[in-house]
Amino acid sequence: MFKGLKPIQYAGREVWPLIEGGKGVSATNHMSSGAWAAAGGIGTVSAVNADSYDPEGRIVPQVYREMTRRGRHEELINYAVDGAVAQVKRAYEIASGRGAININVLWEMGGAQRVLHGVLERTKGLVSGVTCGAGMPYKLSEIAAQYGVNYLPIVSSGRAFRALWKRAYSKVADLLGAVVYEDPWLAGGHNGLSNAEDPRAPQPPYPRVKELRDVMREGGISDDVPIIMAGGVWRLDEWNDWIDNPELGQIAFQFGTRPLLTQESPIPPDWKSRLMTLEEGDILLHRFSPTGFYSSAVRNPFLRNLEARSHRQIAFTKEEIGDHQFALDVGVGTRKNFYVTKGDLQHAREWHAAGFTEAMKTPDDTLVFVTKEEMAVIRKDQADCMGCLSQCAFSSWADNEKNTTGRLADPRSFCIQKTLQDIAHGGPVEENLMFAGHAAFRFKQDPFYSNGFVPTVKQLVDRILTGA
């Protein structure tokens, strides 16, 4: 029998321990977040390139007019701040004093600290807390303290939290609102899978969350500070043993994928329809993201193309070394001194004959073979870079004095800003990156969604509170 949830105290108010995951680039907005808070939970406005509006209420297109990447980066930060402020204000109005409103940022997004300062300065009294992951956000607590809001770091291990706590967070212990444990094998979007962990060998979350609580206790953190379980959460009756469990302390639950399929969800109808067709295994944990992090998304033609591109890849040397004795005679034009193995030379000729006539260098001394059309798109996307990440493998942009990573731009990746903006605003779902958690296949199996039923956020929260 499902134990049921009890409300918790958060930011001076009573809320359900149910958190809406803050999905970036307009996949959550004021409508979904405000409705989630109005239902008594914690709604999360994404502050990652959120939409802003003109005086008539129409979305302002994010058009970049500056000629330099640095100039476009400044435009991007202005868009990000204006958009997040607009979303927070609208969400707060919808919530009407119920629940709470958080904002979510990616630490590795371009200008993350400037965006945080800009948003919190202009939304004083409206934002209860800041969730932040995708990196090691050491300065998160310091920024939160300047505005008197809670901070909620997103981690995937007790080890990561220990490092954050010892270096910075222990100095602002009173504003630690919760710690989000994001399962690196099950969550959608960017995941905190470390190099020491096998992406093909998922570990059960309970021991890892228990370890996280132990680390928190070592730091003197009260068991009343919740650990928020994120990734793979669908029905709460499946987490019954976690509720009121003295080993774990206070537990709350974050839902990222299920709120995508609600009436208030801002994602386009085609995206919602596609969610209802997914089968188990249709979500791919991959490493094509220009962030360098693992991430999880629907294995649609967009991702399959990236997989195929990486498969059309051979190593080369600039001199005849070992098995690399054969001069490459396709894909490189008049360029000389690309030596490959006999087998790879044969592969390259086959790809060239199939229309993949252009060889593009990667930072790892390999070549990937693409069509002329594909190479033109890659080159244009790289040239149009607006610095949406602190470091971008695809364009070699970095938010530093020289604005470069010092590495060759990687054609095996893609412009994440372009594809996420496109899918969020009605672009083809099969031709763009479609983030989703690994439980997304359950939309098709769950009787709650039978006959194409799309609930309101209130109906979804009420359903979740029953355990189902």
Q: Give the pLDDT band of residue 193 (cuts 50, 70, 90).
A: confident
Q: What is the pLDDT of residues 324-366, one digit of tens each?
A: 999 999 999 877 789 999 999 999 999 999 999 999 999 999 9
CB atoms within 10 A of CB 146: 11
Q: Pairing relation of β-strands 189-191 and 339-340?
A: unpaired
Query: Which residue reads 């791919």 in tokens?
Result: 284
Q: Pairing relation of β-strands 150-155 and 179-182?
A: parallel
pLDDT at 127 over 90: yes
The set of long-range contacts for 336-339, using a CB threshold of 8 Å and a minimum separation of 24, is 338/367
Q: What is the pLDDT of residues 242-267, one digit of tens each?
A: 999 999 999 999 999 999 999 999 99
Position 308 scores a pLDDT of 97
Position 135 scores a pLDDT of 81
Compute the distance between CA of residue 28 and CA of residue 260 in angstroms, rounded to an integer: 8
**Domain spans of the chain, in order of start:** 8-278+442-465, 301-424
Q: What is the pLDDT of residues 201-221, one digit of tens each?
A: 999 999 999 999 999 999 999
Compute the distance between CA of residue 190 and CA of residue 3 in angstroms, rounded to an integer: 32
CB atoms within 10 A of CB 60: 13
Compute the distance between CA of residue 201 and CA of residue 199 in angstroms, rounded to an integer: 6
Could you tell me the two tokens for 354?
């199939």
Tell me the pTM.
Answer: 0.95
| Alpha helix positions (H), 258-371 | 269-275, 301-311, 342-353
- pLDDT mean over 56-82: 94
Cα 351 to Cα 19, 368, 467: the distances in Å are 48, 10, 52
| Alpha helix positions (H), 102-202 | 112-122, 140-147, 158-167
Cα 443 to Cα 11, 262, 278, 463: the distances in Å are 33, 12, 8, 14
Q: What is the pLDDT of residues 410-450, one digit of tens each?
A: 999 999 999 999 999 999 999 999 999 999 999 999 999 99
Could you tell me the two tokens for 439?
């439980």
Could you tell me the two tokens for 52?
């802003």
Could you tell me the two tokens for 413?
């990746």
Pick the CATH number of 8-278+442-465 from 3.90.420.10, 3.50.50.60, 3.20.20.70, 3.40.50.300: 3.20.20.70
Cα 16 to Cα 39, 40, 360: the distances in Å are 9, 6, 52
Compute the distance between CA of residue 78 and CA of residue 200 in angstroms, rounded to an integer: 40
